[in-house]
């Protein structure tokens, strides 16, 4: 990965790459917090999304096929799927200025560079969490990373819900303690922070 001027993106990319590297072949068909998708499908989607950000910026390195229709059948290794996609995204963002208007593959179609990087980080970070939850790995999210992701999510996610990109907000239970930022982020993105693979 090429380092960028956006620490939140570098952290999220590292999280996705690290969690993906921990996925084993016998886990590819396992369920995930994305209720309709397996681990393999989340991997394909996450890789395709990072390529979509790269393509929006550079015009190259786009995804193969529809990111929202992953097949679940890998014709390569997990590392060969995710690593180059993350590298393409980080390489593209290495050319972006924090204040420059930057094209993105989600509404509104362009954002200031820092927000565009946070949008790509949001995608990488939340899918890293999905994969970690599904495969029994430690959560890659902490409140320091989740805070800027939540701020960006609150700017861009609502229009995406109508496309099915994010499920409805998951309310906290009345008996739950005050939410840490990670929980608030996950609930806002339609995920149950308490999701466990043992319950599926």
Task: Report pLDDT digits (tens) over 135-190.
Answer: 999 999 999 999 999 999 999 999 888 777 788 999 987 676 667 999 999 999 99
Tokens representing residue 102 in the block: 């930057």
For residue 94, report the phi and psi dihedrals to the nearest 5 degrees.
-65, -15
Distance, in Å, from the CA atom of 136 to the CA atom of 143, rounded to the nearest integer, reads 20
Residue 163 confidence (pLDDT): 72
Mean pLDDT of the residues in the chain: 94
- The rounded radius of gyration (Å) of the Cα atoms in the chain is 16
CA distances from 111 to 2, 31, 49 (A): 21, 33, 16
- Report residue 198's pLDDT band, with 50, 70 and 90 as the boundaries: low
pTM over 0.75: yes
Tell me the fold of 7-141: 1.20.120
């Amino acid at each position: 990965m090429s380092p960028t001027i956006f620490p939140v993106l570098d952290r999220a990319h590292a999280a996705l790459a690290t969690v993906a590297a921990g996925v084993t072949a016998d886990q590819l068909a396992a369920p995930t917090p994305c209720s309709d998708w397996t681990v393999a499908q989340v991997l394909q989607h996450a890789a395709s999304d990072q390529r979509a950000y790269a393509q929006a910026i550079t015009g190259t390195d786009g995804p193969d096929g529809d990111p929202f229709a992953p097949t679940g059948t890998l014709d390569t290794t997990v590392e060969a799927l995710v690593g180059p996609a993350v590298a393409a995204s980080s390489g593209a963002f290495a050319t972006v200025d924090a204040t420059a208007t930057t094209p993105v593959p989600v509404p509104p179609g362009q954002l200031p560079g820092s927000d565009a990087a946070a949008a790509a980080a949001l995608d990488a970070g939340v899918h890293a969490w999905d994969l970690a939850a599904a495969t029994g790995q430690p959560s890659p999210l902490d409140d320091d990373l989740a805070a800027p992701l939540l701020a960006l999510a609150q700017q861009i996610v609502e229009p995406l819900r109508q496309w099915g990109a994010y499920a409805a907000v998951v309310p906290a239970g009345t008996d739950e303690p005050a939410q840490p930022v990670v929980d608030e982020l996950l609930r806002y993105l339609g995920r149950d922070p308490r999701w466990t693979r043992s319950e599926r």
